[in-house]
């Protein structure tokens, strides 16, 4: 057998070997579905800190009695979420985090979080998101504040709820595309900062780095939003 032919056979076998890995044949395909329900334990307000490094997250509100109804779907043991909740001085502290570990090079990743919060308990959200798609429908939550760091995935944030008090929002953009929906019938003030500023916010009046909707001065309820743009694109819509 010639050296040239032997080399060709070796390349074909090597390519097949890597294809075998990349197809996920050696990954952990033991999918786990877990559900957790957390009672409010008579907390009058709650701060929830959520960190997900790899995977998709969906957050919404509902009228159910528990503080949180959640579901976690994953196929790697390292994605098991850590959950803790304590109440001190009538304030609940909820923490949901994914341990930051590097997945195997050839692992097929499946990690999805679904979090449904009580719609009446005042809730402040602190969210760190990594690589994955994120859907934050906060329109049916008694939101008091939001701090969010977005990663490399696409994000959707709905802030069109009938919030009882003023809401302060701080967003740090990432690499992906972020869509933010805001209510047109209450006061909105945007403060936009960043290097690239790939932000589309038509319908606002600009004064320096500040942007105001037409009803800002007359509205009793207001949403104050600070956006630090990343490399990705951000679309801000008045609904």
Q: What is the pLDDT of residues 120-175, one digit of tens each?
A: 999 999 999 988 999 999 999 999 999 999 888 899 999 999 998 999 999 998 88
Looking at residue 119, its pLDDT comes to 95
pLDDT digits (tens), the chain, 239 positions: 555 545 444 444 444 444 434 444 434 457 789 999 999 999 999 999 999 989 999 999 987 789 999 999 998 888 889 999 999 999 999 999 987 655 554 457 889 999 999 999 999 999 999 889 999 999 999 999 999 998 888 999 999 999 989 999 999 988 889 999 999 999 999 999 876 668 899 899 999 999 999 989 999 999 999 999 878 889 999 99
Looking at residue 21, its pLDDT comes to 41
State the Cα–Cα distance between residues 5 and 11, nearest whole angstrom: 10
The pTM of this model reads: 0.84
Looking at residue 20, its pLDDT comes to 39
Looking at residue 196, its pLDDT comes to 67
**Which helix (H) or strand (E) segment is 34 a member of?**
strand 32-38
Looking at residue 133, its pLDDT comes to 93
Gyration radius (Cα) of the chain, Å: 22
Three-state DSSP state, 52: strand
Q: Cβ neighbours of residue 190 under 8 Å, at least 6 residues apart?
A: 201, 204, 210, 211, 212, 225, 226, 227, 236
The beta strand positions in 99-186, using DSSP E, are 111-118, 123-131, 134-137, 143-149, 155-158, 167-172, 177-182
Looking at residue 94, its pLDDT comes to 98
State the Cα–Cα distance between residues 180 and 165, nearest whole angstrom: 19
Q: From the CB of residue 74, how many other CB atoms can be counted at a distance below 10 Å?
A: 23
Q: Given the DSSP bridges, would you call strands 68-74 and 111-118 parallel, antiparallel or unpaired?
A: antiparallel
The residue assigned the tokens 């790939």 is: 198
- Name which of 211, 209, 173 is nearest 189 in CA terms: 211
Bridge partners (DSSP) listed for residue 58: 114, 135
Question: What letter would DSSP give residue 80?
Answer: P
């Amino acid at each position: 057998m010639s050296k040239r032919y032997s080399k060709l056979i070796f390349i074909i076998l090597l390519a097949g070997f890597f294809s075998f890995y990349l197809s996920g044949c050696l990954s952990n395909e033991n999918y786990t579905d877990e559900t957790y329900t957390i009672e409010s334990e008579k907390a009058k307000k709650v701060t929830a800190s959520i960190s997900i490094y790899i995977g998709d997250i969906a957050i919404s509100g509902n009228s159910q009695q528990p503080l949180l109804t959640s579901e976690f779907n994953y196929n790697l043991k390292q994605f098991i979420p850590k959950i803790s909740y304590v109440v001190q001085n009538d304030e609940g502290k909820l923490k949901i985090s994914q341990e930051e570990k590097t997945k195997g090079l050839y692992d097929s990743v499946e990690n999805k979080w679904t979090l449904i919060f009580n719609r009446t308990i005042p809730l402040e959200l602190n969210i760190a998101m990594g690589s994955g798609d994120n859907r934050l429908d906060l329109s049916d939550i008694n939101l008091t504040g939001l701090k969010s760091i977005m990663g490399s995935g696409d994000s959707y944030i709905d802030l069109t709820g009938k919030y009882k008090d003023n809401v302060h929002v701080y967003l740090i953009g990432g690499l992906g595309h972020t869509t933010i929906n805001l209510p047109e019938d209450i006061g909105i003030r945007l403060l936009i900062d960043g290097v690239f500023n790939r932000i589309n916010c038509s319908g606002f009046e600009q004064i320096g780095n500040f942007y105001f909707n037409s009803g800002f001065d007359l509205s009793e309820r207001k949403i104050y939003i600070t956006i630090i743009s990343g490399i990705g694109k951000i679309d801000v819509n008045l609904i």
